[in-house]
Copies of this chain bind each other. A is one copy, B any other.
Amino acid sequence: MQRSFVEKSPSGWEGVEREGYVPGEKTAVVRHTLIGHKKAAATDPGPSSEVRYFDVPPGAVTRLEKHEHEHFVIVGEGIGYAIVGDDVREIRQHDIVYVAPWEPHQFINRGDAHFGFFCMVPACRDIPQLLSADELAHLKATPAGPYADPDGAPPPRIRESLGAR
């Protein structure tokens, strides 16, 4: 049963586990699942979307990836770079980022302080994919290229397709 209220605490949110970026696995990026959970079918019980917060420490990045589902992102704290398609921007608190279907994207902390963002996705969604060699070569030749780090975060895991939270 989804709680109506999830209260911010100094280190995260009350009652929300600090997970690895890939759930169950320790990585630099910390994930807080605030509302909802991954669903195998849209008609399964539970919220239709999932709200997560990703805390990206200095030097860390999220995965450079693409997928059919959209991302609705609100920066929570700190300063980072966001790559979306061929574009890159410096982003900071309460800037908004929209990632359309299949747009390659990555979030990067290159500052000295923590950088974190809220990210809303459908509860029922496809598994992220890495970029192909051709897509990566294309990206590298764009303004976003120098910022992209295809090896900075773990690849998608097949077990995510089993609907594991």
Contacts and interface: CB of A to CB of B under 8 A. Distances in A.
B93 A8 contact: yes
A58 interface: no
A100 interface: yes
Copies in the complex: 2
A87 B7 CA distance: 14
Interface string A26-45: 00000000111000000000
Contacts of A36: 98
Contact of A4 (B34, B74, B87): B87
Given A8-B93, A49-B70, A94-B76, A2 B100 contact: yes
Given A4-B97, A99-B4, A70 B51 contact: no
Interface of A: 2-8, 13, 34-36, 47-49, 51, 70, 72, 74, 76, 82, 84-85, 87, 89, 91-100, 103, 118, 120, 122
Given A4-B84, A48-B70, 13 more contacts: A4-B100, A4-B103, A5-B84, A7-B89, A8-B92, A8-B93, A13-B96, A34-B96, A47-B70, A48-B122, A49-B120, A51-B74, A74-B118
11 contacts: A4-B84, A4-B89, A5-B89, A5-B97, A7-B89, A8-B92, A8-B94, A8-B95, A35-B96, A49-B49, A49-B72
